[in-house]
A = this chain, B = another copy of it.
Amino acid sequence: MGVGAKPPAHVVIVGGGFAGLYAARALARADVRITLLDRRNYHEFQPLLYQVATAGLAPGEIAAPIRHVLMSCRQARVLLAQVHGIDLQRQVVRSDAGEFSYDYLLLATGARHSYFGHPEWERFAPGLKSLEDALEIRRRILMAYELAERTSDPQERQALLHFVVVGGGATGVELAGAIAEISHETLRRDFRRIDPARSRVCLVEAGDRLLRAFPRDLSLQAERALRRMGVNLILGTRVDDVTAQGVRLGGEFLPARTILWAAGVEASSLGTEIPAERDRSGRVRVAADLSVPGHPEVFLAGDIALVEGAHGEPLPGIAPVAIQEGILAAENILARARGDKARPFRYHDRGMLATIGRSQAVAKVGRLHLHGFLAWLVWLFVHILYLIGFGNRVAILWRWTLAYLTFERADRLITERQPEPR
């Protein structure tokens, strides 16, 4: 390099989820400056959010400060900032912490849940996409038992002990299974008036089977396992209305105080800043190399991007997809910076996992279909493996061992969003 060497390119990454974080790591040893912006100071391990929502793990056990994860990456700057706009012409990102100009931009702001045109349902049926969502769901579930214990109205008590989960994908299955476990095992002896074991957990799915992304035989195994745990499955049924009193399903009204939403997702609204085609759920269609058509310096990765698999099917919004996209986007940024050609994205499908409860899961690993205890061991192993860098693996393993042996869930605190009387 001579005196005339170019200054290193500036890569701005928006979002510290799986895609953003793995991209930053993939850039770590290259000659670039990195600025990672996120509106939270932590990265969430989303696959375990449901464990926080059901009081099995503490928030800190599935989240890590982003700047700490990237501590050893000296050329990466991490800033707490809410990005609200992108100027593709001036190559500038606008945020509440000021403007950031970029040579390359990676947009990885993920997705939130969507209510199919009924945003008014959110108040009554929170979704599970962030740690704050998880704490709110935890508060509602625990509060329902507390209020049921203290009410003297039998109808009210019944509605309080009725939990409805909408959406039969992995999150819905995990939530329903965990709530059934809490009711039938964890809380069994905690109350005096009510019997938590008599609470009712319903899982509502519009399609004709759970876990549509999985092979049919595994869907049936999951359904069987949930039924054995006492979960009522309501398949082939659409939700017509959600109110503070319950849900209406195909003409019937189910009174229930706790309704959880795991039915639809919607890509981050920053996608609307990108002049490209978007699908129904707002995901932006990117070029094969994950860049934006007409803007080779802008890349998208994770749940905000619409990327198709080998058979033309859109790839699901799961961690392995986001991780692989993040890494390829980083590599393509480096290729462009060197003047090389960018590579197209190809998803390496290593399998799918969904856990149902203590020692129950379904897994597709290559061509292998697993269920029951063995699938659960695979699930456990994979999640412990992925928690590398969280530094909490031993603590989580310890807690899971305890929970497995005792059915105990240690984090049963009703803390957030309670007005503090002073």
Binds B, one of A313-321, A331-339, A363-371, A409-417: A409-417
Q: Is A190's CB within 8 Å of the partner chain B?
A: yes
What are the interface flags for A380-422 relative to B under an 8 Å C-beta threshold, 1 for contact and 0 otherwise? 0000000000011011001100100000101111111010111
* A192 interface contact, C-beta 8 A: yes
Residues from chain B with a CB closer than 8 A to the CB of A412 are: 41-42, 65, 68
Q: Which of A60, A82, A131 has the most CB of B within 10 A?
A: A60
The yes or no answer to A346 lying at the interface (CB within 8 A) is: no
Q: Is A198 an interface position by the 8 A CB rule?
A: no
Chain B residues with CB under 8 A of A42: 412-414
Cβ-based interface call for A58 (8 A): yes
Q: Bound complex: CA of A415 vs CA of B68, how far in Å?
A: 16
- One complex includes copies of this chain to the number of 2
State whether B410 touches A392 (Cβ < 8 A).
Answer: yes
**Once the chains bind, are A413 and B65 in contact (CB under 8 Å)?**
yes
**B135 & A415 in contact (Cβ 8 Å cutoff):** yes
**Which residue of B67, B68, B81, B415 is within 8 Å of A132 (Cβ)?**
B415
Name the B residues within 8 Å of A63 (CB-CB): 413
A191 at the interface (CB under 8 A from B): yes
Q: Scan residues 291-344 of chain A and give those whose CB is less than 8 A from a CB of chain B.
A: none
Q: Chain A: interface residue count, which band? A: 35 or more
Pick from A142-150, A173-181, A347-355 the stretch touching chain B. Answer: A142-150
Write out, one digit per residue, whether chain A residues 63-88 have a CB within 8 A of any chain B CB (1) or not (0). 10101100100100111111000000
Residues of B within 8 A of A392 (CB): 410
B189 touches A71 (CB 8 A): yes
Residues of B close to A418: CB separation below 8 A: 132
Q: Does A276 contact B (CB under 8 A)?
A: no
**A132 and chain B: residue at smallest CB distance:** B420
Besides A39-B421, A395-B410, 4 more A-B contacts (Cβ < 8 Å) are A41-B413, A77-B193, A78-B192, A98-B150
List 9 tightest A-B contacts by C-beta distance, closest first: A60-B411, A80-B146, A58-B58, A58-B60, A65-B412, A67-B190, A97-B150, A41-B414, A77-B192
